Amino acid sequence: MDIGKALIVYRKELKDMLRDRRTLISAVVFPLVLFPLMSVGVGTLMEKSVKKVKEQTSKVMLLGEANAPELAAALREAEGLEIVPPAENYQQQISDRKVAAAVEFPTGFERAVRQGAAEPPALNIYYYTAQLRSEAAVRRIEEIVQRYREKVIAARLEARGISPSILKPVETKRENAAQPEKVGGAKLAGIIPYFIILLSLMGAVHPAIDLTAGEKERGTMETILASGLGRRELVAGKFLLVLTMALLTAALSIFSFVVTMYLSETYFQEMTRGYAFRISPQAIAWVFLMVLPLVIFFSATLLALALSAKNYKEAQSHISPLMIGAILPAVMAMVPGIELNARLALVPVLNVSLLLRELLTGNFPVVPLLIVFGSTLVIAGIALAAAVWQFQREEVLFRE
């Protein structure tokens, strides 16, 4: 293969690609703004929304209030709760979000509590599961009930001349033994590899389609082949361009992530409950190095899939399974309990995602790292060989 001719193809395609606004947006603008928007932007919006809900007054119904006058009085005096008159259709009102929750006191509730019945009376709380305001009201109600419970227990112990300390014969004290940077990284590094992998894949999609199915659709594939270039030089030049755009997207994603972490240090410390999140230059270099074989695999596979299509629209349908196949393993890496081991180090995409999570938390597992890098590089080589084979097939190149 003539490297010089391959570079000619590369330079020609690069000039054409840089004129395309869609490429610049997907490869440059999108990765730069995604991390700030997804982390600080969406995170701040969610935090304000939750805070607003907690500060708002929740409407609560008391059913059978006469059965528990003391506890009902505590609920009426509580801040953040507005007691509304009881109604028979309380469940429908909760479902319609007109009322946040309803508390039902069974008959003889307070009498059973005072007498210390063998079977404690049950307190029913009706609410709207997964509705933020309703769940906030339930938490507030449970706090008040807990204080009432503690008051009753203290009164019972005092009546029998027993110290309340008898209920706590042993105290436990938690103390973090891990480095604060690793704790902060463990709380945030689960989702970061997902975005890096997803953006790397997206950065290669448009160039791969445009250089193959796009040229078929425009009718320029025959012109390039008539220029005297060999098939190997042609595929090498196109592959290098797709790889360049994917690596650019990956590099900008990592850069945006690091800058966002440092510029929003206070915000992320609040997210990790005071633990700082630090990432060393060595970890950044390793992250980029481990993304490299995966990007090669994405670029070669996308090139081969897109070439098999006769137009842009068909190429998008061919590439969709790869998008799903890449996203699912990346999402699995965020599942608690899944740790990198020798077996998972051989699973494409998942292995890189798990390894990136380790690297971002300051861990450098040498053996899994070598397995992940080697296995991903082998798969990338197979994908690249498949792309070259596709370019050798006349029925694929000239499919209409």
* pLDDT values of the chain reduced to their tens digit, one per residue, 400 residues: 667 777 777 787 777 777 777 777 777 777 777 767 766 655 566 566 656 656 678 899 999 999 989 999 999 988 888 899 999 899 999 999 899 999 999 988 888 888 877 788 888 999 998 788 888 889 889 999 999 888 888 888 888 888 877 777 788 887 766 665 565 555 566 677 877 888 888 888 888 888 887 777 776 666 666 666 677 778 788 888 888 888 888 888 878 777 777 666 555 555 555 555 566 677 778 888 888 888 888 888 888 888 877 777 888 888 888 888 888 888 887 777 778 888 888 888 888 888 888 887 777 788 888 888 888 888 888 888 888 887 777 665 555 5
Unique residue bearing structure tokens 């209409």: 400
Unique residue bearing structure tokens 């933020």: 132
**Rounded to 5°, angle at Cα 35 from 30 and 38:** 105
* Amino acid in the structure at residue 360: L
* Amino acid in the structure at residue 296: I
CA distance 281 to 174: 32
Token duo for residue 242 = 């797709």
Q: Which of 243, 210, 194 minimizes the C-alpha distance to 383?
A: 243
CA distance 327 to 342: 21
Helix (H, G, I), strand (E, B) or coil at 309: coil
Q: Which of 188, 326, 204 minimizes the C-alpha distance to 257?
A: 188
Domains and CATH numbers, the chain: 3-40+180-397 (no CATH), 55-167 (3.40.1710.10)
What residue spans of 264-365 are helical by DSSP H? 265-271, 281-307, 312-332, 350-360
Which residues neighbour 371 within 8 Å (Cβ) at sequence distance 6 or greater? 342, 345, 346, 351
Q: What is the pTM of this model?
A: 0.66
Cα–Cα distances (Å) from 300 to 4, 12, 110, 326, in that order, read: 20, 19, 72, 14
Instruction: Give the CB-side neighbour count of residue 248, counting CA atoms within 13 A.
Output: 20
